[in-house]
Amino acid sequence: MIISVVNQTNGEISDADLLAAIRAVNRQIADDFVPYWSMPATLRLEGTRLDQPRANAAGVIRGDAVLYVTSATSKNDPEGFHDRNFRGVPYGVVYSQMSVDMGDPWSVTLSHETLELIADPQGNNYVMGPSPHDPRKKVFFWFEMCDAVSAQTYEIDGIALQNFLLPAYFEPPTPGARTNFLGNELEPFGIAPNSYLGYYDPKKQSQETAHSDTRGKARHAIRQRFEHTRSQRRGKK
């Protein structure tokens, strides 16, 4: 997968800084993510002009998916532009203001959205597992790589990146199995401190969220304030 990255931040994040973060995320994908998930991908910074008609859209974005990096000062509408020009092509949105509100470097959000876009491009995959509130009950967890460990980070080349889940997280418990890249203590289908996860409850026929603590609930609430996030789009399906 080639993921086109489009800088919509009106200079708040320079292309040079974004390129440095893209290099770190590309290393994360190749060295850390692919050995566990066998899902290769490459981020590539594309043009920044989003006011072009459909006839010129291919000159701006050439990837298999699109990641828009936008800010609180941006006047662009990533979803509107995307629907006009690339309807059906997977996409994600990185909000720099969301990172500020959560207390994370924006590079963590870039890493988070990238890994989740790779693993579930359309945001419509689920894994059956025990309900967070009643292990006897089965629900369908969102196949998201980072939500359950969203407060945990590490660095590559001095750039902060998101911890992510491993295949053992989505399977029955196996003694000694690592459920996340950093190897932090976390049971399958569990929630790390200060984090959250989403799932579909077939009995309620609704999308639900669970939180490890008040900070995890706050992190999810911050994400919900921003339009076009993956969790919001799941709720519309």
Q: Is the pLDDT of residue 196 over 70?
A: yes
Phi, psi of 113 (to 5 degrees): -70, -35
pLDDT class of 45 with cuts at 50, 70, 90: very high
Number of domains in the chain: 1
**Whole-number pLDDT of residue 101:** 84
> What's the pLDDT at 30?
98
Which helix (H) or strand (E) element contains residue 163?
none
Choose the weakest-confidence range: 7-11, 56-60, 93-97, 151-155.
Answer: 56-60
Single-letter residue type at 156: I
Helix (H, G, I), strand (E, B) or coil at 111: helix
Residue 80, pLDDT above cutoff 80? no
CA-based torsion, 6, 11, 14, 18: positive or negative: negative
Q: Which domain holds residue 72?
A: 2-236
Residue 180: pLDDT band (50, 70, 90) is: very high
